[in-house]
Amino acid sequence: MNTLIKRSGLAVAVAGLCLAAGTGYASSHREAPFITEMPKVDGTDFYMFRSYEAGREGFVTLIANYLPLQDAYGGPNYFDLDEDAIYDIHIDNTGNAREDITFRFSFQDVRQDLKIDVNGEMVSIPLKTGAPVGPGAMDDAMNGAIQVRQTYTVDVIRGDRRTGVSQAVTGDGGSPTFSKPLDNIGSKTIENYPAYAQSHVYTANIPGCGTGRVFAGQRAEAFAVNLGEVFDLINLSPEDVTGANGRDLGLNILEGKNVTSLALEVPIDCVASANDPVIGAWTTASVRQARVINPRPVAFEEGDSGKGATVEGGAYTQVSRLGSPLVNEVVIGLRDKDLFNASEPKDDASNFAPYVLTPTLPVLIESLFGVQAPDAYPRTDLVWAFLNGVPDLTRPGGTPTLGEMLRLNTSIEAATSDVAMQDDLGVIAGDVTGFPNGRRPVDDVVDIALRVVMGVLLDEESAPAGQIEYTDGAVVDRDLLLSGFPYLGHPFSGSPNPQRN
């Protein structure tokens, strides 16, 4: 299989996807100047894969992560999403780099003013909860101890995201409203967080698709990266970078961090065209064009969010975008990072082609470590993965429109349901059910990126240093991952304080 993959051009095209690893390697954490000001709508990672939970073989799982670098103890407000934003997962199943199906998540704050009697005066409390929270999702709505929580809706839009036909996804009882669990505040507030979170996994009745599942809530960060050293001009020894000391050097700086996940499991027939099993997908977040600071925020009344600190208005405007991991960090030049976040795949060839054909990362690595960068310009091989898919694997039939997306061949079944047996180097290790054929939580996109961008899949003449086993010394902790939906592990608890350990 390895030989077949390499000679068909499949593995070479992985380089395009991995090119984005760059000197930043945060999959999409604080990647553009403007999005650093709006962490609630900062898309961090996007996973798309054939479901490997037992009995769910006929489904595709989509997971869009937002709000990076969450410290579990970050109270008293913790990490709710923006109720004035929309969070989208877009699917292209016709190869035209335009959305054919969009799944839209919208969040709503639900508040009650909790007061306690202090010397005969009823005074509002400063905390999110005033007592331990019950074990189930149904208890959220009835629990008088929760001062602030969130609900959400999911809509499926067919056609253009702005003008297409929108229909509500509903739960078992026909309600279009789902409950987002509270973040993992601590063991005294929520004694059994895994059970509490699992009660927020809902059946999703998707119009025109059938039945799937949905979950939105805090998860343990699954992305692994040696963030600080990599941003510091890859501040590692040559022995570490070249793999002489092994891959797992315990350098995952994201260990112990949480993230917020929007997870949706959908039937394959819902997203794949009858004519072609390949789909492309990306996530976006959009906010209102106008935001006015309220000089006197109005306190909320019972059941009402009040006027708050800002007043939002105008059309929704896209401020975050994510398809394949790592693209905006270092493929895209600093001057164009905000533009990439505001753009759509159909415009990528005209906006960003030079970044693909003449990538800077190999030259940077050459200057930092003295290894020779590949000499294969223009890098037309990278166009396959970055803009139109890999032949014989993730390229749709016909001649697709160029556009950067994460692509998945839905006809290829998951290799194994055992996370321990999944090869975290994906396609370059012969596992065609891993990245860049979609992306699973276990896939180590940083190490894949380093190796491929330096030419592991090119011939020796074009890439003299291509066979070095580059690594950042951080690997995904498989023990944190779940074997079933929503797949990402339960979030770290804010108390007992993990920093004490």
pLDDT in tens, 229-255: 887 888 888 888 888 898 988 888 889
Q: What is the structure's pLDDT at 10?
A: 34
What does pLDDT average to over the chain? 86
Give the tens place of pLDDT for each residue, 401-434.
889 999 999 999 998 889 999 999 998 898 999 9
Give the tens place of pLDDT for each residue, 137-161.
667 777 888 999 999 999 999 999 9
Taking CB atoms within 8 Å and a gap of at least 24, the contacts of 266-269 are: 266/59, 266/60, 266/62, 266/103, 266/204, 266/206, 266/209, 266/212, 267/58, 267/59, 267/60, 267/206, 267/209, 267/210, 267/211, 267/212, 268/50, 268/58, 268/59, 268/60, 268/410, 269/209, 269/210
Burial 384-402 (b: 16+ CB within 10 A, else e): bbbbbbbeebbbbeeebbb
Percent share of the chain, pLDDT over 90: 55
Using the predicted structure, report yes or no on whether residue 275 has a pLDDT greater than 80: yes
Pairing of strands 85-92, 210-220: unpaired
- DSSP letter at 396 equals P
What residue type is 301 in one-letter code?
E
In whole angstroms, give the CA distance from residue 419 to residue 416.
7
Using the predicted structure, report yes or no on whether residue 283 has a pLDDT greater than 70: yes
| Phi-psi category of residue 69: left, alpha or beta, with phi > 0 → left and psi -120 to 50 → alpha | left
Using the predicted structure, report yes or no on whether residue 437 has a pLDDT greater than 50: yes
Instruction: Say how many C-beta atoms besides its own lie within 10 A of residue 207's C-beta.
Output: 15
The band of 22, judged by pLDDT with boundaries at 50, 70 and 90, is: very low
Using the predicted structure, report yes or no on whether residue 16 has a pLDDT greater than 50: no
Of 407, 376, 375, the residue nearest 391 (C-alpha):
407
The answer to whether the beta carbons of residues 226 and 241 sit under 8 Å apart is no
- DSSP letter at 486 equals T
The answer to whether the beta carbons of residues 35 and 320 sit under 8 Å apart is yes
What residue type is 441 in one-letter code?
P
Of 403, 377, 340, 351, the residue nearest 463 (C-alpha):
377
Give the tens place of pLDDT for each residue, 318-344.
999 999 888 887 778 889 989 989 999
Q: What is the structure's pLDDT at 498?
A: 61
Give the tens place of pLDDT for each residue, 164-190.
999 999 999 899 999 999 999 999 999
Q: What is the structure's pLDDT at 19?
A: 33
Q: Once rounded to an integer, what is the mean pLDDT over residues 359-363?
A: 85
Q: Once rounded to an integer, what is the mean pLDDT over residues 20-30?
A: 45
Using the predicted structure, report yes or no on whether residue 20 has a pLDDT greater than 50: no
According to DSSP H, which parts of 55-97 are helical? Answer: none
Q: What is the structure's pLDDT at 378?
A: 83
Kindly provide the residue ranges of all beta strands, DSSP E only, lying in 100-255, ordered along the sequence: 101-111, 115-118, 121-124, 148-158, 165-168, 178-180, 202-206, 210-220
Q: What is the structure's pLDDT at 27?
A: 53
Q: Which two tokens stand for residue 127?
A: 């905390």
Instruction: Say how many C-beta atoms besides its own lie within 10 A of residue 303's C-beta.
Output: 9
- DSSP letter at 170 equals B
Of 23-27, 254-258, 356-360, 435-439, the least confident: 23-27
Q: Once rounded to an integer, what is the mean pLDDT over residues 349-377?
A: 87
Give the tens place of pLDDT for each residue, 448-500.
888 888 888 778 898 899 899 989 889 999 999 999 999 999 999 999 866 55
Pairing of strands 178-180, 148-158: antiparallel
More confident residue, 359 or 121: 121
Q: What is the structure's pLDDT at 410?
A: 96
